[in-house]
Amino acid sequence: MNDFEKQLATTSQDGLYSLEIQTLQVNLGLRCNQQCRHCHLEASPDRTERMEWDTMALVLEAAGSMRSPLIDLTGGAPEVNPHFRRFVKSLRQAGHPVQVRTNLTVLLEPGMEEMPQFYRDQEVQLVASLPCYLEENVCMQRGEGVYGKSIAAIRRLNALGYGVHADLPLLLVYNPGGPFLPPDQSSLETDYRKQLAERFDLFFTRLLTIANMPIGRFLAVLRRQEQEKNYLELLRESFNPQTLDGLMCRHQISIAWDGTLYDCDFNYALSLPVNHGAPDHIRHFNPANLLVRRIVTGDHCFGCTAGAGSSCGGALL
């Protein structure tokens, strides 16, 4: 039994089990125009892994076997997958709500000029990374020039109504700039709203705060700074049992670019597929079996249960 499951046992829980499948999170590949220092998937412009159309067709079939799950597209930068637009259109034609996790700067890359309008035409919901409202902090995590491009991209999205009209949501994502937990989500949202409006006349719908997981590039940074032990202790000491019901792995399935099924994107980063007898590839997708699956956990799970909790949908409490 790992330490996380030992901690669960103190709350009388014998492991973690799925509660429902509301969302299919689909990773379209690891190529990204950025190379952020906190990226748990270690995406970069040099990565070549990507989902091919045959696998996308299986995802469409799987989604069709469920009651309109939210399809949450991620990457890398999902937009750089050559089948991206066809896939989004097919999902929308089949009636599925679609959400895209965009890094914003990709929208300024050559060939992406029409992407914001495409999003609006397809009624796609957007979740966009902006880990701070200050330039220095964004560039430190995500690279030189990223802040200015992100502001320019939000301006284009606002001009189309994203973050302005209720039916065109633009959610921004904050994550800490170092080995500490996110601050209170609603207070930080107020700060973001004020800063972005006053300085740039920009708008967004909601802010999501997400903790840094001690895996991937962020773990490498922790090790270089000799902070790994302290950060893991902070996560363990901040364990909050009230977060357990909302853990994203209990409400969704993650599908990797090669069709392998995971309980969450972090397990994907750690190569820990769905286990305990549940089908582990999109070819064998079976919602009934996946719904009763036991989730694969590890010590990294303390990153989701610390403080107010953390998930792809922000704080859990």
Residues near ligand SF4 (CB under 6 A): 32, 34-36, 39, 41, 43, 75-77, 103, 129, 247-249, 263-264, 266-267, 295, 297, 300-301, 304
Q: Which is nearer to ligand SF4, 63 or 249 (CB)?
A: 249
CB of 253 to ligand SF4, least distance (A): 11
Q: How many other C-beta atoms can be found within 10 angstroms of the C-beta atom of residue 302?
A: 24
User: What is the amino acid identity at position 108?
Assistant: L
CB of 128 to ligand SF4, least distance (A): 10
Contacts of 18 (CB under 8 A, 6+ apart): 249, 250, 251, 290, 291, 292, 293, 295
- Which residue's CB is nearer to ligand SF4, number 295 or number 308? 295
Chain mean position to CA 231:
21
CA angle, 303 then 98 then 181, to 5°: 20
Separation between Cα atoms, residue 27 and residue 76, nearest integer Å: 8
Question: Coil, strand, or helix at residue 67?
Answer: coil
Complex with ligand SF4: residue 198 or 233, whichever CB lies closer: 233
Which is nearer to ligand SF4, 149 or 300 (by Cβ)? 300
Q: Which is nearer to ligand SF4, 202 or 316 (CB)?
A: 316
The answer to whether 272 and 296 are in contact (CB under 8 A) is yes
Provide the minimum distance between the beta carbon of 235 and ligand SF4 in the complex, in angstroms, as a whole number. 11
Q: Minimal distance in Å, beta carbon 116 to ligand SF4?
A: 17
E strand spans, the chain: 23-27, 70-74, 98-102, 125-129, 170-174, 206-209, 252-255, 261-262
Distance, CA of 296 to CA of 311 (rounded, Å): 16
Shortest CB 32 distance to ligand SF4, Å: 3
Q: How many CB atoms lie within 10 A of CB 219?
A: 20
Choose between 239 and 285: whose C-beta lies nearer to ligand SF4.
239
As measured in angstroms, the least distance from the Cβ of 203 to ligand SF4 is: 22
Tokens describing residue 253: 């399935």
